[in-house]
Structure 1
Amino acid sequence: MSAELKADDRPDPTWDPRCGTMGATGYQAHLDRGERACEPCNHARWAASLVRRMRDNPPVQPSPDLPLEVWRPVADARGYVVSSEGRVRFTGSVLPTYHPPQDLKQWLDSDGDYLRVSIEGRYRKVHQLVAEAFHTNPRGYPLVRHLDGDPLHNVAANLAYGTYAENAADAQRHGTRATAQHGTKSKYSHGCRCEPCLIAQREYARARRADPATREADNAAKRARRAANRALEEQA
């Protein structure tokens, strides 16, 4: 067949005893005769390709479910589910390409505060996925609160939607954030942007940059976060 001949210009397929048989034999016979492949041969070729991919990449069985664990779909990601125990799983796919099911690896975000996973090329925080699947938010609260103060404890019973004020009150109650006054770096971290708090934040940042010991502490914290992420990957 001429190299310039387009696929659409090829003649209609003729029947062959090999049409529809498993594998690419019938498909190749059509091509050798310079004609388009029939639909049964196209399906047989695709099925043989799928079997080959499944043989070369056998499915990895996900970890067993925990007692009373419930799974629900991730709303905006087809094929992904999240559990009431804070786990995220890909259920696998056949079309358009084969991908086996698997539990998604979780690791700490850049701040070292929350666990996240990668879904369809996007980083998603686990506690937000669990809250969206197992809790309603009729009042449109902006935050997902950890009721016990542990940001890594992402079970559904430990999460609730709330306001910034409720989240700050939780942090003060758990001892993870002290009550702050205006004109301090802590108040700036709470979201205040008044002039005294802005000045306090700038002075705080300038002092940290000027102190070699503080810079080393910051670098040590970054190394610790990376080590924690590696440990999570090894456990997965």
Structure 2
Amino acid sequence: MEEWKNIKGFESLYQVSNYGRVRSIDRIIKRVKDGVLIDFRFKGKLLTPKLNKKTGYVHVALSINSKRKYINIHRLVAESFIENPDNKPCVNHKDESKLNNNADNLEWCNYVYNNGYGTKKKRLAESLKGKKRPYQNVPILCFDYNTGKFVKKFPAIYAAVEELKVPQGSIIRVLSGKRKSTHGYYFEYETVKEE
């Protein structure tokens, strides 16, 4: 059964459902017309989600005080319907479909779990297959393996090698999924290119 909850920070304006749908709420807005303050009835409606082609996630634009904010729907659903007692920073899609934002398909997790989940590394490795030294100019993200906390974004592997004093081969093995970590770090490419 679909359940609706007010969106934090937009309580009297928007709601999100456990099925991943977002709607505006019926409300009355005061406006000046011909020098007279009148009540304008605003009829709520379902918002049309937009696909962010760069990330693959769907988002909606929420407005408050004439300011528009784009928010990913999976975060809205997780913040409204999924407990997060450990204050984990990431929301994972259990079925690996970024379009399935049903609350039953989402879970809170840390960066290491989220970045190593499912077939992500395999898909990335296949997208880079056949390219000569694909890792040279691809930005990578570095995480503390034990805590899962984000450490730094590097423009390429060479920068991580220089700063962290970690062998290039070790980083490449983590990036390709042959190792889980090296020297207390976990690495991943900044983006996964979907085919």
Work out whether the TM-score is over 0.5: yes
List, as ranges, runs of 4+ consecutive aligned residues in structure 1 with deviation greater than 4 Å: 192-196
Asked whether the 8 Å contact 2:27–2:42 carries over to 1, the reply is yes
Alignment partners' CA distance in 1, 2:92 and 2:4: 21
| Greater percentage in helix | 1
The answer to whether 1:142 aligns with 2:89 is: yes
The answer to whether 1:94 aligns with 2:37 is: no
Asked whether the 8 Å contact 2:139–2:155 carries over to 1, the reply is no
The alpha-carbon distance between structure 1 residues 185 and 83, as it changes in their structure 2 partners (threshold 3 A), is farther
For residue 193 of structure 1, report the CA deviation from its aligned partner. 4.7
For residue 198 of structure 1, report the CA deviation from its aligned partner. 4.5
Larger radius of gyration: 1
- Any stretches of 5+ residues in structure 1 without a counterpart? 1-67, 201-220, 222-236
Q: Which residue of 2 aligns with 1:74?
A: 7
Count of matched residue pairs: 132
Q: Which residue of 2 aligns with 1:153?
A: 100
**Percent identity between the two aligned chains:** 27
The correspondence for 1:113, drawn from 45, 48, 56, is 56
Give the residue type in structure 2 aligned to 1:105: T
For residue 91 of structure 1, report the CA deviation from its aligned partner. 1.5
Alignment partners' CA distance in 2, 1:186 and 1:159: 32
Secondary structure of the residue that 2:41 maps to in structure 1?
coil
Secondary structure of the residue that 2:27 maps to in structure 1?
coil
Alignment partners' CA distance in 1, 2:111 and 2:13: 33
Partner deviation per Cα, 1:167-191 (whole Å, 9 max, x = no partner): 11214468444499xx936984344
Taking only aligned residues, the RMSD between alpha carbons, in angstroms, comes to 3.2
For residue 141 of structure 1, report the CA deviation from its aligned partner. 1.1
- Any stretches of 5+ residues in structure 2 without a counterpart? 31-39, 129-133, 143-151, 161-192
| Greater percentage in strand | 2
For residue 114 of structure 1, report the CA deviation from its aligned partner. 0.5
Asked whether the 8 Å contact 1:86–1:127 carries over to 2, the reply is yes
More deviation, 121-130/70-79:
70-79
Determine which structure has greater relative contact order: mean sequence separation of CA pairs < 8 Å that are 6+ residues apart, divided by chain length.
Answer: 2
| TM-score, length-scaled by structure 2 | 0.58
